Every structure is written in C-alpha cells, then in structure tokens.
Amino acid sequence: MKRSILFLVAGIAAPLLASCSPPMIEIIIYEDGSQTRADLSQDWGVVFSDKRAPCVESVTLYPVGKFSGRAAWSGKAVWEVRVDKSVWCKDLGTVVVGQTPRGFKEVTALPPGSAGEYKLVIRGAGVGEASLGLD
C-alpha cells in the first residue's frame, strides 16, 4: 500500500516539477477615457487559481501590417520601456500605453498621432501578447 501511494505521489509530482517554465502573462486591454490601459496578471496556481502581477522586464508595442492578406507584426518597436538595469524585472499590474511606469525607462518614445493596429508584447518571468488599436 505504501509503495503504491509513493508511486502515485511521484507520478503527480514529477510532471509538475518538470514544467518549471513560468505561466503566460495574461493581458486585458481596455480604454479609460483617452488612455489605452493593459491589466497584467499571471496565474501561478497549480490546483487553484493564484493570479498575481507579473514580474516584467520590458513592454513593447509593435505595428501590425498587412502582408499577403495575413496580419503580421514587424520587428521595429514604436514604443518600448525597460526596467531599470539595477533589477532583472519589476512587478507590474497595469501599464498605460505611451506612459513610462515607475521603475522603468523609456527606450523608444511613442510618436504623436500613432493611430493604428498594434501588438503589445510583455516580457519578463513569462511572456504575453495582445492586439490593440490606437485612435
């Protein structure tokens, strides 16, 4: 009996321990007056939900273009912020597109009149992407 319980525990624990990559960063985009905001979270729960603000290293906005009838984003950022080099990443629950969060520095400034379709990419302890439009 003890042996079968041990194998059962090992059978459950091994896959959980083997998958030690961080969960995807979830992004919810919404308009708040004239601002475009992104709420960020990660669910670290194994059995039950345990959503937390992700540890973010960079926030990048890429333009989306039309190529052969399919949407694709280019490699050139129109806006990017990165965490200060004194730390690897910083907990970030919300970001306003075009505004530099506290503890980050702006690498690429968002040009005025940047209306269009974009892909927001969050990198840090995990990665997340979301599409958004700016007016």
Give the domains, in start order, of the chain with CATH numbers: 21-134 (2.60.40)
Q: What is the pLDDT of residue 73?
A: 59
* Two structure tokens written together for 36: 């475009």
**Rounded to whole angstroms, how far apart are CA atoms 110 and 20?**
35
Could you read off the pLDDT of 61-95 as tens digits, one per residue? 999 875 544 555 567 899 999 998 888 999 999 99
**Rounded to whole angstroms, how far apart are CA atoms 90 and 54?**
8
**Max Cα–Cα distance, the chain, nearest Å:** 69
**Rounded to whole angstroms, how far apart are CA atoms 55 and 17?**
21
Strands 116-124 and 104-108, bridge-based pairing: unpaired
Could you read off the pLDDT of 7-64 as tens digits, one per residue? 444 455 555 554 578 899 999 999 999 899 999 999 988 777 788 999 999 999 999 8
Strands 79-83 and 55-67, bridge-based pairing: antiparallel
Give 8 or 112, the one with higher predicted confidence: 112
In which band, very low, low, confident or very high, does the pLDDT at 2 lie, cut at 50, 70 and 90? low
C-beta separation of 100 from 79 below 8 A: no
